Structure formats: structure tokens, C-alpha cells
Amino acid sequence: MNEKLNSILKQVSKPGRYSGGEYGQIIKDKSKVKARFAFAFPDTYEIGMSNLGVRILYECLNREEDIWCERVYDPWVDMQEKMKENGLLLWAHESKDNVKDFDFLGFTLQYEMSYTNVLNMLELAGIPLRSAERGEEFPLVIGGGPCAYNPEPVADFFDLFNIGEGESLLVEIVRLYIQMKDEGRYSKAEFLHEAAKTIPGVYVPSLYDVEYNADGTIKAYKPIYDDIPTKITKRIVEDLDKAIFPDYAIMPYTEVVHDRIMLEVFRGCIRGCRFCQAGMIYRPVREKSPDVLNEQAKCIFENTGYEEISLSSLSISDYTGLPELTDKLLEWTKDNMVSFSLPSLRVDSFTKELMEKVASVRASSLTFAPEAGSQRLRDVINKNVQEDDLMRAVNVAFDAGKTQVKLYFMQGLPTETEEDLAAIPKLAKDVIEAFYANPNRNRAKQPQVTFSVSPFIPKPFTPFQWEPQDSLETMKEKQSFVGSCVTDRKIKYQHHDAEICRIEAVMARGDRKLCKALELACREGFKFDAWSEYFDYDKWIEVFEKSGVDPDFYANRRYSFDEVLPWDIIDCGVDKSFLVRECKKAYEDQTTPSCREKCSGCGANKLGGERTCCPKRK
């Protein structure tokens, strides 16, 4: 294997993707290992190496002496061709052993458009696509991550899913496997039944039958055993200060997307934007203390020498310990020329003090997400920010000498009008005018505002999960309209591919009927569908037609409040009744305050015992 691989590395682009041997990787003695776990990221090495969740779970599994977790990435197209030419199967990064010889193959499902990569990787590994066709000699295939909250479109390809945060859950799954092997009572069927019965957060699709109504909607989910749960409740880590976090980083030999120290400051979100899946599924809010974060940052810096720290969360400026944390970081990062970036800034929490702390080290870019151009539509989506908040935030940036601002918006949101769309470029122009009105502006440079507009995609476990997506024609018309409203060369307009967004909506709200379409797509060579150069919308429509799948049924239909949704088998912690209330409030232009202002009764606090979404609430 190693000899063949080495011989073709010179024939492919970026051989550092495949060479392995990075500083920080974990190698174990196979003779002392009872279970081997291949952790797969279904995209390129550069993207997978940047994922913090994979790094954390890699550490959790490898802290167990008798478990060895290795990494797997999807080879780029040129390497896939060479693999087929040379009879190479997909391998694990550390040992270079074939993935099909492992006990577990786990996929993190971060975005729906990676589903074809999952199937492509199974094919590259020589593993049958469908779980029902895999014998005892093949690894157990596990799925997790945000897309696992609606696992149904890929249910037939996975043996089990872990729902929620996997730090302890993955270890429990592998420990059960080792126990059953040691006791001589292991078979795949027995293991899957036992895991579903005894480990909270485990979903085994093959143990649940799905009945459909005549109109194609779901009638019911029925477990085939009486001793497994009728609904799978997600797992959470209650105390992040005690959660496992790697004090090192695997150092890549080639450039990756996020090659820096990444600190997870908290999980969850207090805001409740009605389109945002992450803001719902990651509840309740749990924070790490500034002392723990500072020590983790120091440790990784000493072990890696990285010169940048990224503070990771859904909304970093909502972290209650941010002032204390930035003070602690500046005590040592300034002298060591280490910068830190603050992504996901909210305009209503961005302050001069924070700007000055960021500006005291190397500059970082500033991005804000108003999401909608008009105040009415921001109220509909429960963004809870005013235009004055944005103007105050950009003026703080202009006071500090910044000249470039990025803004993110969405189109196709429920109740949207043409006036709402026109308000998007107008808001960008207002930012330009604010720059020239600012007496402290950087007069040596011209301002630049870049705004990006993404089509709305209805996602499971959001108040807008029942809403239809715009038709493809309407999405494109709206994109053209927004572009026609841009008349200033200092304003740059970008938009997401409407065709990719439509297929993503189908996958996001799909059921098990999509498995047939995905299998056909794999057989026809679909891969890297999140990459525009490999995505082919017309071919997707052909696959849907051949599979008997109507994409309008999933993307463009308004789901009714009383129908059984494909993801109703999962309990994400947020009550469905709360989501219905929030959807109805959207149509009345009513907002809901943040969890810190008032508990909205979403239900997520039941997952954390004494801990709740609202830190002030006892």
C-alpha cells in the first residue's frame, strides 16, 4: 500500500493531502488496540483538517488506550483516478491501512451537499453502500454532526447515528462493541439492538419502519422492538470546562482553510433567529470560563507556534466572559505577535472597547450579518437588531481606521417583498455614506462594502422548517433584481448558487425515499457537489426523475403543522410547540427576546438538569 501510494504522490496535485506523518498525529501499537475507528470527513483534506469537532472527537477516542482513531478524507478527483488505476482502496491517514478493515467508519455530516461524497468514499473503500448489504466483515458505519438531526435522506447507508454531542457518546458506542466482542456475544444485529436499547442518543434506522400516507407524507415511525425508544433524544455535554479539548494540533504539510488555534468559547445561542438550525439544535447555552480558554490557548500556542487564535462560537459577542477573556489573551499574545479573530460578530454587541482590543494586535476582518435589509423583515426572522445598531458598529470600525466591511443577507425569507429586497443594497450604500460622514475615517483609502446574499433554505428544527423555498426561477429573478439595485462601484455584490441551494433544500427536508436517488447519483459518478465546478443541476434533476423523486415536494411545498416530519424521530431538545409558536409570531412581525432577557420556554433547559439556556434564570 505505502509503496504504491508513494509512487503516485508525484502525479497528483497537493501530495501533502495524502502523505500523512504530520507532527501531532497519534500512532498506536496495533497489538494493544481492541477497536479501530476511522473518522471520515467527506470533503478534501484542507477542509476536514480545519474542523474543530473532528479534532475534539479524535482526541476523545484516542484517550482510550485500547481504541485507535485515525483520520480519513475524500481524495481529490485526480487522486481518485490514480487510486482506480493502481487498485488502491481508501486508506486511513495515520497507518495507511484500508478503511474497510476497521471496526468503525464514522462520518461527520456537516452539510447536505457532502452526501454524495459519503457514498463515493464508501465505494472508494470497497464497502457496499447500503447497510443491509454489508456483512460482518465490514465496519460499522456511523453518522453524526448537524445533518444527523435529519438522518432520513441517508438512513439506508448508515448502521447507526449518534445524535447530539459525541464526546462521551462515541466512546460509549465503541466500549459496548469491545465489551460484546470480549464476551463472545457480538454480531452486528445484536450490537445494533443493544446500542439502541442501552445508549441514549443512538439512532439505528434499520430498527424503525416508516409508514407513508397516500399523499407521500409520513404516517408514522414504528420501532421493530418494544425495548428501544420511540424518539431519540440528543446528547449534550453539560460542563464545557470539564469537556475534553486537545491541547495540541496536528500540523499539516499543506495549506488548510483554518490553520490556526481554534478555541470553542461556548455552545448554543441565546438569540433564536427563526431560520437558523444551529441556534436551535445546539441549545442550551453552555460557556467555558475565561481561565480555561486562556490556558488552552497558551498550551496550543506552546505546542504549535501558531500566530493566530480564532474564537469560535455561533455569536462570539454574546459570550459573557469576552471582556475578561480578551484581557487575559492580550497579556501574552501581544508580546508574542499572536493575533486573534472574532468571527460571527453581532452589530448590537460590537463595542469600541472590543474593537480596540482587536486592533491592538494584527488587524482582522470585520463581518456583520444583518440577514435582512428592512427592519420589518428583521423582526419577522427575529434578528433583533436595528439599523442604528449596524451604523454604530461600522462607525466603531471606521473610527479604528477600517475601510472594508462585509455584510451577509438572505433572500426568499417568509413574507419577503420587493421592498425588503431593495433594502439590502440600500443598507450597503448607507454604510458607504456613514464612512464619508465619519470625521475619524481613514482618508487615505476608499471604502469597500461587500455584501453576500444567500437564498433561504428551510432547515429541520427551526421555526421556518415548514416554509417553502422559492422556486428556482424566483430565486434567480430576485438575485438579478438585487444586482440591478447596486449602482456604486464601492459596493460589491455576491450571491450563492441558486441551483445548489435548491438541491440542498431537497436534502435538508428529505425522507428515506431520497436514498434511492442518492444511490443512483453515486453510481453515475456524482461527487464534490458543494464545489461549483463539479455540481451539475441538470444531472440532479435527471436522477430525481429516474428515482421517482419530486424535488418540489421537499423544497417548494409548505409543510403543515400537524404532519409527521421526517426528522420527528429525533428530539433535539427544543419543543415542536415552541417552533410552531415562533413561526406564527413571524407572520405577525413579532419578535422574541433573547434567552438572557426572558426565557421563551423552548424546552432545551430540560436537557441540562440545573443548567438552562438562560444563564440568569435559576
Tell me: pLDDT of 610 over 60.
no
Q: Residue 328's pLDDT band (boundaries 50, 70, 90)?
A: very high
CA pair distance 228, 309, nearest whole angstrom: 44
State what percent of residues in the chain have pLDDT above 70: 96
Contact 510, 152 (CB under 8 A): yes
Q: Residue 567's pLDDT band (boundaries 50, 70, 90)?
A: very high
DSSP state of 354: H
Q: Residue 358's pLDDT band (boundaries 50, 70, 90)?
A: low
DSSP state of 88: P
- Taking only the tens place, the pLDDT of each residue in 382-432 is 999 999 999 999 998 898 888 999 999 999 999 999 999 999 999 999 999
Helix spans in 406-471 (H): 418-437
Of the candidates 229, 251, 258, the residue with the CA atom closest to the CA atom of residue 341? 258
Contact 69, 105 (CB under 8 A): no
- For residue 77, the model assigns a pLDDT of 96
Altogether, the residues listed in the chain come to a count of: 618
Give Cβ neighbours of residue 322 (< 8 Å, ≥ 6 apart): 265, 316, 354
Of the candidates 341, 342, 310, the residue with the CA atom closest to the CA atom of residue 50? 310
- DSSP letters of 198-265? HSTTEE-GGGEEEEE-TTSSEEEEEESSTTS-SSEEPB--S-GGGS---SS--B-SS--S--SEEEE-
CB count, 10 Å around CB of 220? 13
pTM of the model: 0.94
Contact 267, 166 (CB under 8 A): no
CA pair distance 306, 297, nearest whole angstrom: 10
Per the prediction, the chain carries an average pLDDT of 93
* Lowest-confidence segment of 98-112, 138-152, 215-229, 356-370 by average pLDDT: 356-370
Q: Residue 364's pLDDT band (boundaries 50, 70, 90)?
A: very low
CB count, 10 Å around CB of 135? 7
- For residue 615, the model assigns a pLDDT of 45
Phi, then psi, of 238 in degrees rounded to 5: -80, -40
Written as one letter, the residue type at 336 is N
- For residue 365, the model assigns a pLDDT of 54
- Taking only the tens place, the pLDDT of each residue in 250-272 is 988 888 888 888 899 999 999 99
Q: Residue 359's pLDDT band (boundaries 50, 70, 90)?
A: low
Query: Is the peptide bond between 252 and the residue preceding it cis, with omega within 30 degrees of 0?
Result: no
CA pair distance 328, 325, nearest whole angstrom: 5
Tell me: pLDDT of 471 over 60.
yes
537-547 helix and 498-508 helix, angle to the nearest 10 degrees = 30
Cell of 581: 409558536
Cell of 299: 498550551
Locus of grid cell 460482518: 136
Helix, strand, coil percentages in the chain from 3-state DSSP, rounded to 5: 40, 15, 45
CA pair distance 532, 120, nearest whole angstrom: 17
- Taking only the tens place, the pLDDT of each residue in 136-153 is 999 999 999 999 999 999
Of the candidates 28, 33, 151, the residue with the CA atom closest to the CA atom of residue 518? 151
Radius of gyration over every alpha carbon of the chain, rounded to an integer in angstroms: 24
Cell of 232: 431519540
Contact 146, 75 (CB under 8 A): no
Cell of 496: 450563492
CA pair distance 53, 70, nearest whole angstrom: 14
Pairing of β 308-312 and β 404-411:
unpaired
